[in-house]
Amino acid sequence: MSDKVKKINLNHSFIFFFFVNIFCIFIFKYSNSNVSTILCLLLILIIGVSHGALDHIKGQKLLELFNLKSIYIFYITYILISGVVIATWMLLPSITLIIFLIIASYHFGKEDTQFLINNKSYFTQMLYFFKGFLIILAPLYFHFQETVAIFKLLLIDNEMFYLSLNFIETNKVIQLGIFCSTLSSIFLFLNNFEIKKFIIFLDYFSILILNYYLSPLLAFTIYFCFLHSIRHSISLAIELNPNSVANGFGLFIKKALPLTILTGVFSFIALYLLNNSYNLDSAILKVIFIGLASLTFPHILLEYFLEKNEK
């Protein structure tokens, strides 16, 4: 990863940390419950989803590695995987949710940190998982009942699932998980020590502050859009134009716009259909989290196969 990416991400973490403190402590400490779920959906569709909207370009690279020329192979495969994820969620929601949370934890930990880390050992991959696991654990720790309510809205009606959650809460398993996440941040910081790696702790405290003051949905939205997605988008913009970040970002927006718009259209169609059976907030939560799961699985698979075959 280039020094330019590291420097920009360093500044980004500083800005995000101060933004989080101002936003949470002085503005939304008492009023975040009034933030509309539709606003969270719009932010995720506009800013969050767009960081994966260049997957078709990466897919073209992957096809070239396999000597395949038709881009339609990529589109069909990508859509099929997304469809399978949605169908699996409908049939086995508890299992699919657990798998999604595990994969998302690793993905968040890796994408947010790998620009600082040269070591690619299995131990480092495990540290990525525990670092990203904080995104899942923090809302459970600070807002357990509200987070459980979101799970119930996501079609999770398995009694054993909720008994397990209650066991986790009463036996301080969540605190143990947060402790492991803290240790993972310390290990990543000390690995090939550089002072600039202290931004790992800025991100760590930003996530805790968000979840302490804000509702789980709003905390996740701000993290996903303004830390995770923007950081990934910056890297893509620099790949598109290493000489000018501004021009690279303009090019990124232009290339990402078609798939971002398409995703938004499908999301609002799904929202319209779901709103016939559920209230608006419940329908939005289903679109956000089940929709993100359906996009995350093919996105991560694409990144994995591209990285593996480029080696």
Q: Mean per-residue pLDDT for 269-273?
A: 93
Chain segment 130-172, per-residue pLDDT in tens:
999 999 999 999 999 999 999 988 877 777 888 888 888 888 8
If we measure between CA atoms, which residue out of 138, 121, 286 comes closest to residue 191?
121
Q: What is the pLDDT of residue 30?
A: 55
Window from 7-11, 14-18, 95-99, 156-160 with minimum mean pLDDT: 156-160
- Report the C-alpha gap between 244 and 237 in whole angstroms: 9
On whether the CB atoms of residues 138 and 219 are closer than 8 A, the answer is yes
Concatenating the DSSP letter of every residue in the chain gives --HHHHHHHHHHHHHHHHHHHIIIIIISTTTGGGS-HHHHHHHIIIIIGGGGTTHHHHHHHHHHHTT---HHHHHHHHHHHHHHHHHHHHHSHHHHHHHHHHHHHHHHHHHHHGGG-----HHHHHHHHHHHHHHHHHHHHHSHHHHHHHHHHTT---HHHHHHHHHHHHTTHHHHHHHHHHHHHHHHHHTTT-GGGGHHHHHHHHHHHHHHHS-HHHHHHHHIIIIIIHHHHHHHHHHH-TT-HHHHHHHHHHHHHHHHHHHHHHHHHHHHHHTTTS-HHHHHHHHHHHHHHHHHHHHHHHHHHHHHHH-
Q: Which of 245, 225, 227 is nearest to 237 (CA)?
A: 245
Which range of 111-120, 143-152, 185-194 scores highest in mean pLDDT? It is 143-152
**What is the residue-averaged pLDDT of the chain?**
87
Q: What is the pLDDT of residues 277-294, one digit of tens each?
A: 888 889 999 999 999 999
Q: What is the pLDDT of residue 195?
A: 80
- What is the tens place of the pLDDT at every residue in 95-110? 999 999 999 999 999 9
Mean of pLDDT values over 51-67? 83
pLDDT at 62 over 90: no
List, for residues 226-245, the tens digit of each pLDDT value.
999 998 888 888 888 888 88
Given a contact cutoff of 8 angstroms between Cβ atoms, the answer to whether 229 and 51 are in contact is yes
With the C-alpha atoms ordered 35, 270, 300, 2, is the resulting torsion angle positive or negative?
Answer: negative
